[in-house]
Structure 1
Amino acid sequence: MLKPYFRPDVRRCLYDPKVRGLVYQAILGLVVVGVLALGLLNVFENLRSARITAGFGFLGNIAGFDISQTLISFSAAGSTYGAAFLVGLLNTLVVGALGIVLATVLGVAVGIARLSRIGLISGLATGYVEVLRNLPLLLQLLFWYNAVLAALPDPRTSLHLAPGMWLNARGLFVPAISSETGTWFLPTVLGTTFAMLLLLRRARLILQGRGASDALVRAVGDAVFGLPLLALLVIVVAGGWSVEFPTKGTFNLAGGLRIYPEFIALVLGLSIYTSAFIGEIVRAGILAVPKGQAEAARAIGLKSGEALRLIILPQALRVILPPLTSQYLNVVKNSSLAVAIGYPDLVQVFMGTVLNQTGQAIEIVTMTMGVYLAISLTTSAAMNAYNARVAIVER
């Protein structure tokens, strides 16, 4: 009679579900690594046969093209592909930040309006939500760009919105603020002020938790309120600020800051489209709060607005935040549709013009995907941290 190949203890180990699971995972991991290795070898072979040099050295080459809207200095003759990547990234971040802020404000207003006892207000809010969230975003962007902004008058008959503000088919012209200290002075002061505010607020909470004297806590609180005023004073005095107003000539507007119609259409389209979804999220969050909370607020003499601001919304926030995070991520990702209306975001500049000129598809696609992934993960981490802070702590 043949003896078993495996010893009894080895056989028992192999019959263990945990061990079998580890073995299967190891085999699957080896298969995945093998497939990836074959794919990479195939890619490198194709690059070699096409005589395409791999690597990121192309970022130092001169771009040779202009970008219409830039937050930093950029020229076709002196700027590199790396600078073009930075321009597209900054344009994407600006649109994403503005879109998130405006969509949140509009969405909260629409969500509250849907719960109004006035039929006209709730009906308009319902129509707003049902129409906008059921139309494709790309269609809405084209509507704002081609049907609204392109139909504005020419520069000779510009609309005078306010002192120093003009609107025409070429964009919105507003007063420009310039500083003698350079481009990075204002962001540096604002970033430092914001960081100090966070530290002071944290210090105040720690002092309150450790039973510090009221005088010390009040001193830290006064610093929290006084720091923005000090930062404003530094900006005005040390920055050497000057304001340039746009002036209307015979055929065009001169001076000031021009906000291009592509940027306006993209921000409006993203904000309004996303606000319809946020409105429904806010409405659902408010309805999730027990009615007894509102009744208790009225019983202690709070008005409807005070009850909503102090009692209802803080509790609804725990329900609102998780789906709200997804909408914030969608704002950043949907901004890539800017290529349809010609706004120079990261996709249009880097994956469009730069890719066509260099042919470095793997590097450019990898960098672009990494940027969007980093933005999304950072946004998710910040929202999850805030959600954990406001969540109910069970005892």
Structure 2
Amino acid sequence: MRRRRSVDVLVVGAGPAGLAAAERLRALGAGAVEVLERETRAGGVPRQCDHGGFGRWGVRGPQYAEGLVEAALGAGAAVRTGVSATGWAGPLCVDTTGPHGLERITARAVVLATGARERPRTARLVPGTRPAGVFTTGELQQAVHVYGQEIGTRAVVVGAEPVSYAALSALRRAGVEVAALVTEEARAQVGWARAAVTRLGVDQVPLLTGAVVAELLGRGRLSGVRLRRSDGRESVLACDTVVFTGDFVPDHELARRGGVLLDPGTRGPAVDGSFRTASEGVFAVGSGVHAVEPAGVAAGEGARVARAVRGHLEGAGWPSGVPVVVDAPLRWVAPNRLAPGAQGGRFLLRTAEAVVCPVLVVTQDGRCLHRERVLRRVPAHRGLSLSGGWVGRVDAGGGPVRVAVG
């Protein structure tokens, strides 16, 4: 038997976005606000990132996560850990399972803050056996910083994004030698100073560009990886550990099960500037909408969604939205729906390949709405932003709004 109960706002996910939303909702008087977290501790990814740079004062990840939890609890939100949302029993009715058994929770509004995950080796279709010693960055950080597990002696990091260098830091913390960072791109996707310090500093970690891991070698325990270079050459790099980094995808399983419209670019719920999805009463924020931005961006979205949720609770309408789409080399844009009467804001974009000082062109039905130059080089798979002063010129009855590189 499922125990049935009701709350005003149900937040799924206790990372930065979900916790910030819960705190702000309580401050706005939203009533009973409950946060569900499937992990045994709240705080999200920062909890396992034992490095600085989080929040306004640049604190370390665990302290930043603890502060978010304390703020949400202090505001009067209920935070329940070890509870998984398994499905929907209605538009705003979520089935859960946890330490106290099965429950069915009905809410007046649901906020999806389910975060993102790195694609594991299996999803990347890397052939070979299934040896021990294969991690994603999240698995590695949890093993090192949360559980203090032994990792290995010599590792290869796949990727050269900021998260790849975070994996490198965790491996150093565990006393693991790093044989190389391997990326199929022509250069690292971080600033030149950070890349140079890693390559030329005390550890002198080689950066192998234009290369992919073509096969995992070894049985029982990883013994090496087979690399394939862009010119077809192959070589074997000995290691007992490999970390697959980056290539984040939103954790959209709950949204998909609830029939929430997903954006084909982000692969997360399609949202407008108020974080409303196409399903009335369901909001979505953070890396579950667009994977993946810094924790501060996710927390900021959580704080901003609270006012829209409060408006919905007070009877505000639920407008339909005009889709916002992108052309290559852009991969996605968020928000990706425009509600009638929307106000200007900023749009996040991601590019699939490096672009230098690109001109972003916004059109609808062949009509140019806006042109904007980005005065910097944007590496592949990194973000850029677009101002939203043009949204008032969108025809609510027209076709999709299109963002392209001119």
TM-score of the superposition, structure 2-length normalised?
A: 0.21
Structure ranking higher in helix proportion? 1
Larger Rg: 1
- Between Structure 1 and Structure 2, which shows a larger proportion of strand residues? 2
- Greater relative contact order (Cα < 8 A, sep 6+): 1
TM-score, normalization by structure 1: 0.21
